[in-house]
A = this chain, B = another copy of it.
């Protein structure tokens, strides 16, 4: 999959109108940075942030993320794309150019618990997460008031084992074009077809420190094992359950007094933090999938 193929849909923010971001991936070899930064200098862009990574300095893959300021970015866009396309041919690059002002459209899938959804709503409102919450989808009606109060369209799509395919089709029709789907404690396993619709654009929060405690009741499992830390993991979703590339993980300390219910309660604060962080990094083009792993230019 090419990072250059990721779509960009949704409203823009004119305050950042002349800030651009470039994400590049290509086979590693000397001269890549010189070529890319030379291109940027040639068009008059000022690079304000640059991060890079070589998966293996002796001949692996090279990853680069730039933020830059370029006066009249919109007017220069076609030229920039043209030059990048030429360079990409030379170095075998996949690349993605985005405007920082662009606000990606997010669909959030939930079930009955609202802590992660509330956090996403808060962060969008506060401006800490630059995105548009385009739709909330749930297999239960409970959280409709939360979505409505935030002015987000809410879609109740019931799911049973027999109707998963129809339900997913219905949900897809309802949410329309979105840049990212977030499973915010959505207690359903999505199909492989659904995953395939959102390659590297489908993020889940798993309520444990993966790969420990995969499955449906990780806090009970953690309690039974007597762990001293509980965790949460945000990851891209792939057809293999709980096995997609990890974006972010965090833990919280518990002690022997913690019941399963205490662990769920404490875990909610870890989950909302981890998922919101992962979504923010994704939205800011800071996450690049590299096989089974991620590179996060935080």
State the A residues within 8 Å of B (CB): 28-31, 33-34, 37-38, 40-41, 44-54, 57, 69, 115, 118, 122, 126, 128, 149, 209-213, 224-229, 231, 245-251, 255-257, 265, 268-269, 273, 290, 292-296, 298
Residue among B28, B41, B246 making CB contact with A228, cutoff 8 Å: B246
The chain B residue with its CB closest to the CB of A247 is: B228
Query: Are A40 and B34 closer than 8 Å at their CB atoms?
Result: yes
The 28 sampled A-B contact pairs (Cβ below 8 Å) are A29-B46, A30-B45, A30-B47, A33-B33, A33-B37, A33-B40, A33-B41, A33-B47, A47-B52, A48-B54, A49-B54, A49-B257, A51-B51, A53-B256, A126-B268, A209-B231, A210-B227, A211-B225, A211-B227, A224-B292, A225-B293, A226-B245, A226-B293, A227-B249, A228-B296, A251-B251, A256-B294, A256-B295
Bound Cα distance from A182 to B49, whole angstroms: 33
Task: Kindly state the separation between the CA atoms of A229 and B231 in the bound complex, as whole angstroms.
Answer: 10
Q: Which 4 A-B pairs have the closest CB atoms?
A: A226-B293, A212-B212, A34-B37, A31-B41
Using A30-B45, A34-B34, A44-B30 as known contacts, say yes or no to A227 and B256 having CB atoms under 8 A apart: no
A149: which of B149, B246, B255 is its contact (CB, 8 Å)? B149
CB nearest neighbor in B for A278 = B228
A118 (CB) vs chain B CBs: closest residue: B122
Which residue from B28, B126, B298 sits with its C-beta under 8 Å from A255? B298
CB distance from A127 to the nearest CB of B (A): 8
What B residues does A30 contact at CB under 8 A? 40-41, 44-47
| Measured CA separation A195–B298 after assembly (Å) | 36
Q: Is the interface of A mostly helix, strand, loop or mixed?
A: mixed
Rounded to whole Å, the gap between the CB of A294 and the closest CB of chain B is 6
In whole Å, how far is A129's beta carbon from the nearest beta carbon of chain B?
A: 11
Known: A33-B47, A45-B30, A115-B126. A293 touches B256 (CB 8 A): yes
Q: A29-B46, A228-B296 are in contact. List 6 more A-B contacts (CB 8 A).
A: A28-B46, A30-B44, A34-B38, A48-B54, A49-B52, A255-B296
- Please name all residues of chain B whose beta carbon is closer than 8 Å to the beta carbon of A209 when the two chains form the complex: 209, 212, 229, 231
